[in-house]
Structure 1
Amino acid sequence: MKLLLITDAWMPQVNGVVTTLVELVRELSKLGHQVTVIHPGLFKTRPCPGYAGIDLAVRPRQQMAAMMASEKFDAVHIATEGPLGWAARGLCQQKKWPFTTAFHTRFPEVLKAAAGIPLWMGYALFRHFHKPSSGVMVPTQGVLNLLTQRGFQNLKLWTHGVDTELFEYAQECQLDDQLAHLKRPISMFVGRVSYEKNIETYLAMPFEGSKVVCGVGPLEADLKAKYPDVTWLGLLPRKELARVYASADVFVFPSRNETFGLVMLEAMACGTPVAAFPVDGPFEVLTASSGDVLGGVLHPDLAEATRQALQVPRQAARDRAYDFSWARASQLFVSYVRQITVREA
């Protein structure tokens, strides 16, 4: 199969959507599929307001049309709802090409937190975007239920995975040089320092140890000034990030509006248990089909979840991470896309 993948999130951006798509492309290539990625780096761009490090394509429709006309493909997947996503959506409708989409991020909640836009308006816009999609891929049953209630159609459950070779298991906490001076236990947050991550709940909670943040974002400067005792590591290369994960005693995930939360799986693959609220993304990652919570702790009090998670064996966290495979996720993706190909492969 020859797949055309359109995304506003791509390298050098660092976030869960980029990780998901890079891993997807890698696995699809292993399966013998050819993937052409249309991303912001191919266009004139400008920075996304309020989000340093994220560049958006400027008026991409004409160039997008030329790119799509020059490519031979069997299927189109529009991964994001940004300028490239809207341009590709319009062109596919014009050409009467079926396409799939994905709901990676709960942007209506982001828009409400950042700009005060009511949730109903945000969801109305995104429902309109996804309405012509032949299959809207969502990462969890909870997100599928949420979008169903909001009037979305053609929803497909598509889980994610983790690279258990890159994020190597450490039976005991490692001693990364950047953290060696810190008081144990060490808790860690990895992700964008932004509105939707609810990071200040983590920074403000009581904890008898050290707090570490890996990531950058629009709230970074203010929070650094407000919480000077926190260790701020910024963006780290993924191999270095794996070592830092393995050096933490517990990974704290404060978000209440995450569609999935790949960073939890990365931490767990290294053997670091997770503390989180009992909400959709963490519930999907930590709860087995039996109903048991594995590899971490879910609790409505994040500080209590963190204290309890320190008692979770590192092997239990690693074992739960093994339940998520990029190979299996990629095969599921292909099964959805094959159902609505533009032309026969």
Structure 2
Amino acid sequence: MPTAEPTRWYSLHIHRYDEQDRLLVDAVVPLLDRLRPDGHFFLRYWKGGHHVRLRLRGPAGLADTAAEALRDYCARHPAGAGFDVAAFRQAQLTMAALEDEQTDDIQPPDTVRAAEYQPEFDKYGGPAGVAAAERFFQVSSDAVLAELPRLVDHPARRLGTAFATMLRSLTAAGHTPADTARFFADYCLLWSPYVFDAFLATWPRLLSAHAPGLSRHAGALLAAAEPGPVGTAVRCALDAADQDVLAAITLAGPGAPPRRRRQVLLTGYLHTHNNRLGLIPQQEALLGYLGHHVLSAHAGLRADPTLMDRLTRHRAARLALA
């Protein structure tokens, strides 16, 4: 009786400097439908030039077949010829410093290259935690790929979509509105070093403009208590985080309590989902700022009046080290 061919994870980096959403909708979705890999997910990243990291699990030859199809698509639909390499080279230095990463050679537009898949065991809790995260990543990727056709020509919808998914997921994870307000504040601080001064100055105005609509939307979501596929996947991944998984989350720091380690997991899940949606870190910081104010009101609490001051100090301290 023939034995099943062994499978493993493969990673392809598609350096697409414009129209990444179109690549995902028009090339990656049909490719996944055709190849039916045992596992799949994607991320967006900056190293070596903005690119999509497509991870596929399957037998030998799978990555070569996928790479050929993606190169063919990029050749027929070139994009990013106007990419400013000099400007990005400077930006890459800042990103690398903020994330304790190395820079990489900037690739020509529409380069498709194989890369080693390096699971983040320290962030997700060893092999068992990474396996749970990979299951979440696939659900998240499928949800985003289904949502992107609605967002491609309407980028302003992205923030609202991300807010709804975060609120559903945090509620599914057992957070009360007060817990969620605190999480959003922490999320804002986490991504604040990426915010440009000119954008930060617009936040009070954006809060005044969008808080009423977001508050109504939040009220409807809280009343419905419907987690959706991503919220359900978040809850399942957190349920899989047993004592051994939590102990292996070294990114939380030595001696971190279980609650802090779970927050690292939850933050990682939600950030990667927002990344797939196409949010950049400064937009995630804004999302945290808006979410904190909206959920504080739903919890009957006063929003933290020191949040902007805390953000400014944290941002300055991080940028001083970059």
TM-score normalised to the size of structure 1? 0.25
Higher relative helix content = 2
> Comparing both structures, which one devotes a greater share of its residues to strand?
1
